[in-house]
A and B are shown apart, each in its own frame.
Chain A
Amino acid sequence: MAKRVLLAEDEPNIVESLTFLLDRAGYEVSVETDGRKALNAALSDAPDVLILDVMLPELDGYEILRLLRSDSRATNLPIVMLTAKGQREDRETALDYGADMFITKPFANSEIVAAVERFADGRVN
């Protein structure tokens, strides 16, 4: 059974490229474009990896991260944060809140795929 990746991202073109990439890498990708729906999906669908953009409508990425980490259902959910801001404080905030990885846009495709592979597999193992 293919590992499932939840992609919380509101930029359509980025969604398209990541979906294509991960699909090609053999993951089952589901997409949410606003923060609230992303949070619900992350809790109810129990994906193997969550790719979370920081700038989301309705609920921003940090808020989702904080809520997920305080919920028992998602304590161990691997979360990869995406941000276009890329300052050091953002990275530290994300890691403090319990993100597993922090990737700055623009990223190399391999970087994303490698991260997803590591966390998805790690979880299986």
Chain B
Amino acid sequence: MADRAHLQLHRRKLHDRSIALVLVGMVLLMPPVVGVGLIEGDIAGIPIPLLYVFVVWTLLIIGAAALSRPLRDSEDLVSSQDAPDNSD
């Protein structure tokens, strides 16, 4: 029972993280917060606005990749390959 409850909690946390990721991404990439990137200047020769957007984007991808497998394993996903056709 305790295991099961623990698993449930773990799942819920995962789902919460996944929505948090999207919300953070939306906030960071939408006005007004995205306006923070409008700082004059550059880092390593790359203008800050451009860098900002691409960095947030990359972080989102990393976050999604990190969550991808746990999320996939957290629940059985439906597959057409359940009964492979072996007639040959």
Direct A–B contact in the complex, CB atoms closer than 8 angstroms: no
